Structures are given as structure tokens and as C-alpha cells.
Amino acid sequence: MSEQQPTPVSVLGLGAMGRAIADAIHRGGHHPTTVWNRTAGRAESLVAKGLTLAPTATAAVEASPVIVVCLLDDASVRATLTPLTGSLAGRLVVNVTTMTPKQARETAAWAAEHGIEYLDGAIMAIPEMIGLPVASLLYSGSAAAFDTHRELLELLGTARYFGTDAGRASLYDLALLGSMYAMFAGVAHGAAMVASEGVPAAEFVAMAGPWISAMTTGLPGHAEHFDSGDYAAEVQSLDFNKAAVDTIAEASRDQGVGTDVIAAVQTLIDRQVTAGHGKESFARIFESIRRPVGAS
Ligand code: NDP
């Protein structure tokens, strides 16, 4: 099912992301597009384009059947939505604020308790990408809301639905972001190593980018190990990787740079080697992460 007429939409939160979202929704014809922000002065450019600034959060909610929430974090969502509970009843909340799966599930439970339809969203994009297909937005929660408002959601970027468990979109979001941050930290470590001898980071990343891209072709092989639990090494063993990573750590110390990033990798490897898995694949570090020390 899809919308017959573009639904009026209200957007709570006019940070960099909220502004981009409100703008895209307005350009998509969801008029009136009503906006609200805790601190005044963030709506001027949107009002100039024809969006409506609500004087209060309650007025913003009461202006539309669909409320998009784009605030800083879980605490700001609670602080903003709790006083609006009565006004939100019978409306749809699409919450694209970054939060943990647990927080998303708690928000969904709160919404269900108060007769509020709830769709949780996670944004895999920066504000400049909003409205382009390259922006990926992940959703979970109300299937009916996702189906009914698919056209609205597609105005923000490519929309994917991950099921009725409201925490699922956040789970994927944070897993992807975790991969990204670890990768960036690795590049920062490499850049610091070469910077110790005056090599500009620009020169380094020109090599690191293609190198990392080439290495990602190995990811499906890693996934096979992760999924099967069979870590038989086809090429390099953990013992081999340990020698390499220990050498990187030693070189880092020799160059006078920090070993924090590479030491984390050493810890993951060492735990598996100590447990007798040195002849298995590097992918075995998955077990160090999946079952952390101290977990039952
Ligand atoms: P900003 O820091 O630019 O804006 C934060 C917004 O939250 C502002 O509207 C701010 O209002 C509001 N806010 C903060 N605390 C409170 C509170 N206690 N009560 C009411 N409102 C509050 O962040 P973004 O717009 O960039 O990000 C918004 C969400 O989008 C975040 O969850 C972020 O993780 C997510 N996101 C952002 C991306 C990005 O590249 N920017 C990428 C992917 C996701 P005020 O103006 O009054 O301070």
C-alpha cells in the first residue's frame, strides 16, 4: 500500500541531519512540512524555503500524522518525547536518532504502550547525501508504517526494512559503524608510522585506500569462517599472522608511535594462539570478540 496524497510531516530536531531530512521531505511535496527545534534560530533557512516552524514541540506533533525524530541520542529523544506522549497517540513516530538496539526496543515498547505507531531508523549517510540513492537508511519496527510510507522514506535515500524487531536497524547501523571506526583507526596508525619519518598522510592514504579496497575481496571468505565455526587455514595461519602483527607493534615502538590500535589486534590473536588455535585462520579472532574474556 502507498500514500495517495503526500502526508504532512513534522520533523523534531534541526541539527545538521534533521535540517537535511526536513528539506528533503519538503522538496518531496509533503506539505505542510512542520519543523521544531529545542533551541531557536535553526529553522531560518528552512522557513525561507516554505517549511513551517512550530512554536512548540506539541504544536509540531499536532500538525502532522507522521513525526520524524532526529535528535542527538536516546536521552534527548526521551526528554523530548515523554512530555508529548498524549499528543503522539495515534500518530507515527519515525525515529532516526542513533541509539542502541536496546534503547530502540525500549522506545518501541514505550510507543506501543501509549498507542503510538513506531518505526526505528538508522542513517548510513552524512547530511549532504540525504535525498540521494547513495544514502542508505535502515528501518525496523512497524511493517505497516514502512509499507504505507515507503515513498516518504525513499525521499531520504535508499530505504531497507529489517523486520518488526525495532532494535534490528540500530544493530546493523552500529555494527557497520564499528567496522568503519576500526578501519579508520587502522589508517590513522599507519599514517602515524610513516609520519614518524616525515611522509605526508596524503601520500600514505593514496596507497592505503586501494590497499584496503583490494583486501576487502577477502571478506566473504572471513564470513564463511565466522558462520561455519570452521577456521581451518587455507593459506596463512594465526601463528603466521601473530609474527606479522608482533613485528608491526615492534616497528611502531621503534618509530616512537603508539601501539594502541595494533595492540588490540595482538590481544585478539594472542588469546586464540594461547588457547591452541595457532594453526587455524586469522578469522578465528572472531571467537575472541564473540566470546569476550569473562563472558559466561
Ligand atoms: P546535531 O548535533 O547537529 O544536532 C543535534 C540535535 O539534537 C539538535 O537539534 C539539538 O537541539 C537536539 N538535541 C540535543 N539534545 C537535546 C535535548 N536534550 N532535547 C532536545 N533536543 C536536543 O546532530 P545531527 O543532526 O548531525 O545528528 C542527529 C542524529 O542523526 C544523531 O543521532 C546522529 O547520530 C544521527 N546521524 C548523523 C549523521 C551526521 O553525519 N550528522 C550521520 C548519521 C546519523 P539544539 O539545537 O537545541 O541543541
**Residue 204's CATH number:** 1.10.1040.10
Classify residue 296: in a domain, yes or no. no
What's the pLDDT score for residue 292? Answer: 84
Does residue 294 register a pLDDT over 90? no
CA of 144 to the centre of ligand 1 (A): 27
Angle of helix 168-195 versus helix 201-215 axis, rounded to 10: 130
Average pLDDT over residues 91-104: 98
Average pLDDT over residues 186-208: 98
CA of 89 to the centre of ligand 1 (A): 24
What's the pLDDT score for residue 4? Answer: 67
Nearest CA to ligand 1 atom 38: 126
Burial code (b: 16+ CB inside 10 Å, e: under 16) for 204-216 equals beeebeeeeeeee
Does residue 107 register a pLDDT over 80? yes
Indicate if ligand 1 lies below 6 Å from the C-beta of 136: no
123 with 244, same domain: the answer is no
3 state DSSP class of 118: strand
27 with 84, same domain: the answer is yes
Contacts of 100 (CB under 8 A, 6+ apart): 74, 167, 170, 174
Indicate if ligand 1 lies below 6 Å from the C-beta of 157: no
CA of 7 to the centre of ligand 1 (A): 24
Separation of alpha carbons 187 and 207, rounded Å: 11
What's the pLDDT score for residue 92? Answer: 98
Indicate if ligand 1 lies below 6 Å from the C-beta of 17: yes
- How would DSSP label each residue in 143-194? HHHHHHTHHHHHTTSEEEE--S-TTHHHHHHHHHHHHHHHHHHHHHHHHHHH
Nearest CA to ligand 1 atom 19: 76
Higher pLDDT, 84 or 2: 84
Structural domain for 22, as ranges:
9-165
Q: Which residue has the cell 613485528?
A: 247
Is the dihedral angle over the CA atoms 64, 65, 71, 74 positive or is it negative?
positive
Classify residue 204: in a domain, yes or no. yes
Q: Write down the pTM of the prediction.
A: 0.94
205 with 123, same domain: the answer is no
> Mean pLDDT across the chain, nearest whole number?
96
Does residue 2 register a pLDDT over 70? no
| Per-residue pLDDT reduced to its tens digit, 34-88 | 999 999 999 999 999 999 999 999 999 999 999 999 999 999 999 999 999 999 9
Which amino acid does the sequence have at 48? A
| Per-residue pLDDT reduced to its tens digit, 111-170 | 999 999 999 999 999 999 999 999 999 999 999 999 999 999 999 999 999 999 999 999
| Per-residue pLDDT reduced to its tens digit, 260-288 | 999 999 999 999 999 999 999 999 999 99
Classify residue 33: in a domain, yes or no. yes
Indicate if ligand 1 lies below 6 Å from the C-beta of 127: yes
Indicate if ligand 1 lies below 6 Å from the C-beta of 42: yes
Assign residue 133 the CATH number of its domain. 3.40.50.720
Nearest CA to ligand 1 atom 39: 126
146 with 284, same domain: the answer is no
Ligand 1, atom nearest to 98 Cα = 32
99 with 201, same domain: the answer is no
Ligand 1, atom nearest to 17 Cα = 25
Residue 197: how many CA atoms within 13 Å on its side-chain side? Answer: 9
Indicate if ligand 1 lies below 6 Å from the C-beta of 35: no
Ligand 1, atom nearest to 71 Cα = 7
201 with 127, same domain: the answer is no
Classify residue 191: in a domain, yes or no. no
Indicate if ligand 1 lies below 6 Å from the C-beta of 18: yes
Number of domains making up the chain: 2
Identify the band that residue 1 occupies on the pLDDT scale cut at 50, 70 and 90.
very low
